[in-house]
Amino acid sequence: MWLPGGHVQTLYAALVAPHPRTKLSRERWETPDGDFIDLDWTYKNQNTPATAPLVVMFHGLEGGSRSQYAASMMAATYKHGWRGVVVHFRGCSGELNRLPRAYHSGDSAEIDWILRRLKHAYPATRMFAAGVSLGGNALLKWLGEQRDAAASVIDAAAAVSAPVDLMASGDALGRGFNLLYTRNFLATMRKKTLAKLAQFPDLCDREAMAAARTLRDFDNVVTAPLHGFRDTDDYWTRASAKPLLRDIAVPTLMINALNDPFLPAAALPDKSQVSSAVTLEFPATGGHVGFVSGNWPGRLDWLPKRLIGFFTESSS
């Protein structure tokens, strides 16, 4: 991997490194509870057969199809002759969702509904799921909960920079340089919450939300109570995927850089904590969803190639 520092790789990949893009087409789904989500699909390639594999990507906190990792992955799937779709969690597609609820790190029920609907629409298609950061944790949690049943929905999965120990990750993001990332997350999360408060005045304590300086503070006031958790500790404990990794039955790749500033290396699982279906890959560098390679100005193609390679190998 190019660039040794975890913070350097993280920020460079997100802000500086050039990344390929491909045209995307938006589709809106109505949810069973009266809300909606938006999915951004790669345009149909004339050379892509109807049975071409489908890669379903779940983004990270406040991410979406414009995030560098999503754009790079969609461009790679298109070039490879596969289909790709980025699923936006509620409120992350550029338009506020309808209901008070939003999304959270352990929203495996939402993952289940989305993947099963896609499988119903494309029953003969090999389907692969990729989750990044928050989306990776939620995907892994779903895989652990579903066990063997997940194999009837997807053929393989990958989780990238997933904060599988949310307590360790959340606390790390509340210290030192990591507060820079936290401030960026909170800026958009506060904006959305203020808009929601205009619709639902009893959503949360406005003053406490505005005063939140860490994700722990914000989750305690907004995310946890809004999604049925007692408080931040209850949310982070119950939503963490790490305790469920032993139950995963679908071939799954976990990629976490050892210098990821969002999750201390000591909190990563070892082989005794995962099932035989899980492949652990912990490169020394890469930061948080960084993985920049090549000479200046760097490329973001290592990760898409690795995921497509794993999906190809695991389903052959």
Mean pLDDT, residues 19-46: 88
Residue 16 has what pLDDT? 54
Residue 115 identity (one-letter amino acid) = L
Within this chain, do residues 17 and 46 fall inside the same structural domain, yes or no? yes
Count the domains in the chain.
Answer: 2
Q: Which of 282, 279, 293 is nearest to 256 (CA)?
A: 282
- The single-letter code of the amino acid at 63 is G
Residue 1, domain member (yes or no): no
In the chain, which ranges are E strands?
A: 24-30, 36-42, 54-58, 83-87, 127-132, 156-160, 252-255, 278-281
pLDDT tens digits for 117-156? 999 999 999 999 999 999 999 999 999 999 999 999 999 9
Domain final residue, candidates 190, 212, 239: 239
Examine the domain organization and report whether 48 and 194 are in the same domain: no
- Domain presence at residue 191: yes
Could you report the per-residue pLDDT of 83-96, keeping only the tens digit for each? 999 999 999 999 99
What are the angstrom distances between the C-alpha of 20 and each of 52, 136, 171, 212? 21, 22, 34, 36
Residue 117 per-residue DSSP state: H
Contact 174, 216 (CB under 8 A): yes
Above 80 in pLDDT, residue 48? no
DSSP 31: -
Per-residue pLDDT for 79 more than 60? yes
Active site residues: 133, 260, 288
